[in-house]
Chain A
Amino acid sequence: MSMTPFRYARPMALRDALADLTEHPEARVLAGGMSLLPLMKMDLAAPERLIDLGRVQELQGITETPDGIRIGAMTRHFELASDEVVGRCAPIVAQAAAHVGDPQVRHRGTIGGSLAHADPAADLPAAMLAADAVIEAASADGSRMIPAADFFVGPLVTELRPGEMLVAVRIPMLQGRRQHYEKVPHPASGYAVVGVAISLAVAGGVVQEARIGVTGVAGHAYRAHAAERALEGEGLNPGVIAKASSLAAEGEEILGDAVYASAEYRRHLLQVTLSRALQRVS
């Protein structure tokens, strides 16, 4: 397959990348290329300019911070899944990253690319919501912090503005929390038919705080607030789990497709999947 011709820039510094994006707001930012390049090959996207972030040093690397970790946008899924710091401080992120695509995709695809692409069935958005991550966005004018809960707006739509790019993700320390990512993959695409990421603070057998990120079933990944509230202040017993699971879709428009899974089935599957995730950590 071939693509429509385009201009290609490969800046070496973040400053240059941001300047390029300011100058060419119609440009698309290229990270691992695991979503954008297939779209271009299928003629579903035909950007006139690509800004390749592959050589931008500032976007690489995982660092521990006083209150958690900071993950550079160009960090590959494979690194997330196997990195010692991520595994210790944010296991839910490592676990979700291990579910992305296949080994080839995990070695190319990046956390920044996946989140900025905002596929409604991607794995990492659910983990970001459960982790209560903060997205660091930068433009030529400076940077700002966007809570993950506000970041995902619609299918392939995020809170990023024109001229802005995702440069890092900040994850608060999750050590000690009970967390798990439960996924039902689509047999063809491998994307989540349903994906549920949970992160619970439990003390004395009682859930102090619950965060549940859901992907695959709606126009974008979302926090299942009603289900979270049903858990908080309760023990993880079958009755509570059943109650919370039944609220997983509360307030959301669940979407279906005509080939594999209808909205009705996804709604059911979401309930089963959340229930299984909760049983897993109970």
Chain B
Amino acid sequence: MAVVGQSVPRREDGRLITGRGHYTADVVRPGQLYAVMLRSPHAHARIRSVETGPARSQSGVRAVYTGRDVRERIAPIPTAWIPPGSDLAITEHPALAVDTVRYVGDAVAMVVADSLEAARAARNLIEVDYEVLPAVVSVTDAVREDAPRVHEGVPGNVALHWRAGADVDEAFRTAEVTVHRTIVQQRLIPNPMEPRAAVAEYDPGFESLTLWATSQNPHIHRLLVSTVLGMPEHRVRVIAQDVGGGFGSKIACYPDEVLVAFAARDLRRPVKWVEDRQEHFVATTHGRDHVEEVELAGRRDGTITAIRVKALANLGAYLSTAAPGVPTILFGLVVTGAYDIPQASVEVMGLYTNTTPVDAYRGAGRPEATFLIERLVDAFAAEIGMDPIALRRKNLLRDEQFPYTNAFSITYDSGRYQTALDLALHTLDVPRFREEQEAARLEGRLIGLGVTTYVEMCGLGPSEVAGAVGFQGGLWEHALVRVLPTGKVMVMTGISPHGQGEETTFAQIVAERLGCPLEDIEVIHGDTDQVSMGWGTYGSRSTAVGGGALNMALDRVIDKAGRIAAHALEAAVEDLTFEGGRFAVRGVPDRSLTFPEVALKAHLAWSMPAGVEPGLEAQASYDPANFTYPFGTHAAVVEVDRETGEVKVLRYIAVDDCGPLINPMIVEGQVRGGIVQGIGQALWEGAVYDETGQLLSGSLMDYALPKARFLPPIEVFHTETPSPHNPLGVKGVGETGTIAATPTVVNAVLDALSPLHIKDLEMPFTPERVWRAIRDAEKGAGAR
């Protein structure tokens, strides 16, 4: 029976849900010390002095480090994405602030002590004399002529200025219809279940360092940490065994893990640091945070002809690891969405502010792009009095247009966009909904429908393209398949799953190809000493790229096993079949060998075919020819409580196409989780700073993550259109939900509010915001 395509229960769950996982915070090393960070309470201040004497003299305190102490010994924290032509203004990011703190949460000192209590108590004794400076918080503040400078050497706070596309001014001048919107993509705080943590241990004999860290990409961490600490890369081992979610926030190399590693080397003792939730809110990267002016041009018949986007992106106080690529490459090149829009122009200003650095957050740029085009399409439909679904259908890419190259020279691999749209509409029964909506409106009730047709560029990605767009790394992936003498299989993969379930899906791929039971397969990841190389898990790349590498390595294992089997069976390789884990001579089924029998022969090597080495192991590095482009249609029905402004999601339908499903249950889990997060942005989540740069929504008591009870059951459907360039045909599914759900729910709410002529609202749609809009509309109507 086929294993691929089955909803096999997640093999990692047993250990994770019974408390037997190996999270970084679970690591206990003999003699370990505990580190805590003293963080700035001010968004922007000059450090006049740091008095550490009383803290140092506390019993149990091993060290107190300040910015001045480590400045010569830890190189600045680097950024790893330098988009060409963006004039990226790279500024020094010291591991501990030296003269100036630039955001609430900026680390000023690290205390290392025998116990966490001692470290915390000593931290309270450190006295920092701050001269508070005016802070820049929002992008609109940052671009003001009289705005304070976040970094002295960066005039106008402009971190980058990036353009793509062509001049569309003529298209807009001559257009029959144009629509314009101002979009505020509010800032989000990732909040994975597990906050960040790091444990470092230095071996003075081998002069080597082991760093357990909450990482989505341990090999990138190895590279960056070794560089920053001036240690040879081969003497640094990074382990990220079990990681409790990341949503992009564990891609970056932060000061914290570098400081912990530094302290372990300096003190010759293991050092452990675990971020608490409060700290997570200010010290881990945030997501989104754009203000955009967006426009669409087209004809009265509904044909869209051009799009123009001008975005201000808040990058926070320092350039985080992938930050410069998120609001540029991952955003700007896909703003045309799933539509055939011939002309497009994007201009992005990335700005420094006195806020927590902003980096990738689930979807990273593509949710922002999808949101704006989906809002514009609805606005355009309203402007010309056309049904927004009909407008989408008219402009959606047609099957015969694939592969389709968009206005930014991005080539979408494959798609059947209309099919996904049809399935969603059929499930929804739009005519019946419109009748219900009409009836509800007569009763004074406000219900609405939002439909989003989206495409995502993911499966990152071709390394040549990575280089061309300034990503300071490759995006290929590596896999090693090691068959043991008993036929058991170990897979070492360079991806680093942290909740996505590849220990299961990759085992399914192996079981399918080798015909062995899942129990015979171990998938190993998250350890730079066990896995030779890899670029990690983000950008919905793990199965599309890591799975591709695995598939290639399996080809090689099967090829070699076949030659050994043929030799043993005294047959030609071409005359062998390999099915259900058994090599057989074609037409002579009783002349056969099982895969474990061949594995044993390979290892005994008593009789090998000429030119074939003993053992049975193969590795492969797969560099994809293109990104992959999952797509789909999402639809939501919502009701707005006219009196309170509260929004209730009544129904949510998702049709996604991520190519063939290796494990439908895991895919559904990814889809549902993503949708909930996407709706979270629409309705509940949003970082709120005051004008001095204090984070007001700084805890889970204030920052509303969606809860299960907030939402109805989500109806999940799939169409399956393989990617033609990917060996498994798979496209990636980790981010589609966050990309599609936000505009779907926002458009549904605005549809519900359309009788009141409310055209736009800022996210999140809190009850108060919606209530104010309704009240203002009703007042306005009364005044007319």
Contacts and interface: CB of A to CB of B under 8 A. Distances in A.
Interface in B674-719: 684, 688, 690, 696-697, 700-705, 707, 710
Contacts of A258: 688, 690, 696
Given A187-B704, A269-B644, A261 B696 contact: no
A261 B702 CA distance: 11
B705 A188 contact: yes
Interface string A1-17: 11111000000000000
Nearest to A261: B768
Contacts of B771: 265, 268
B768 A2 contact: no
A1 B276 contact: yes
A188 B696 CA distance: 13
Contacts, number: 53
Interface string A161-204: 00000000000000000000000101111010000000000000
Given A1-B276, A2-B116, A2-B117, A265 B768 contact: yes
A1 B280 CA distance: 13
A262 interface: yes
A123 to B, nearest CB: 15
Contact of A4 (B121, B697, B772): B121
Given A1-B276, A265-B768, A269-B644, A259 B696 contact: yes
B435 interface: no
Contacts of A265: 767-768, 771-772
Interface in A52-104: none
B140 interface: no
B486 interface: no
A259 B688 contact: yes
A192 to B, nearest CB: 13
Nearest to B769: A265
A186 B768 contact: no
A164 to B, nearest CB: 29
A259 B702 contact: yes
Contacts of B700: 188-189
A34 B279 CA distance: 21
Given A259-B696, A268-B771, A5 B704 contact: no
Given A4-B121, A259-B688, A260-B766, A272 B702 contact: no
Interface residues of B, number: 27
A187 B644 contact: no
Interface string B762-784: 00001110011000000000000
Nearest to B707: A187
A42 B278 contact: yes
Nearest to A41: B276
B643 interface: yes
Contacts of A191: 701
A269 B643 CA distance: 8
A100 to B, nearest CB: 15
Given A2-B117, A262-B768, A186 B276 contact: no
* Best-buried of A43, A184, A258 by chain B (most CB within 10 Å): A258
Given A187-B684, A259-B697, A5 B117 contact: yes
B195 to A, nearest CB: 10
Contacts of A1: 276
B768 to A, nearest CB: 4
Interface string B111-124: 00000110011000
B587 to A, nearest CB: 65
Nearest to B646: A184
A2 B697 CA distance: 23
Interface string A260-276: 11100100110010000
Nearest to A265: B768
Contacts of B768: 260-262, 265
Contact of A272 (B643, B690, B705): B643
Given A189-B701, A259-B697, A260-B702, A184 B684 contact: no
A55 to B, nearest CB: 26
Given A258-B696, A265-B768, A265-B771, A272 B644 contact: yes
A14 to B, nearest CB: 32
B703 A188 contact: yes
B117 A188 contact: no
A195 to B, nearest CB: 14
A7 to B, nearest CB: 15
B688 A184 contact: no
Contacts of B684: 187-188
A272 B707 CA distance: 24
A9 to B, nearest CB: 20
Q: Chain B CB within 10 Å — which of A2, A43, A269, A272 has the most?
A: A2
A4 B705 CA distance: 29
Contacts of A268: 771
Contacts of A189: 700-702
A126 B306 CA distance: 57
| In the A-B complex, the 9 residue pairs with the closest CB atoms | A187-B704, A188-B704, A265-B768, A189-B701, A2-B116, A272-B643, A259-B688, A1-B276, A259-B697
Given A2-B116, A265-B767, 14 more contacts: A4-B117, A4-B121, A42-B278, A186-B704, A187-B704, A188-B684, A188-B700, A188-B703, A258-B690, A259-B702, A261-B767, A262-B768, A265-B772, A269-B644
Interface of A: 1-5, 42-43, 184, 186-189, 191, 258-262, 265, 268-269, 272
Interface of B: 116-117, 120-121, 276, 278, 643-644, 646, 684, 688, 690, 696-697, 700-705, 707, 710, 766-768, 771-772
20 contacts: A1-B276, A2-B117, A2-B120, A43-B120, A186-B704, A187-B704, A188-B700, A188-B701, A189-B701, A258-B688, A259-B688, A259-B697, A259-B702, A261-B766, A262-B768, A265-B767, A268-B771, A269-B644, A269-B767, A272-B644
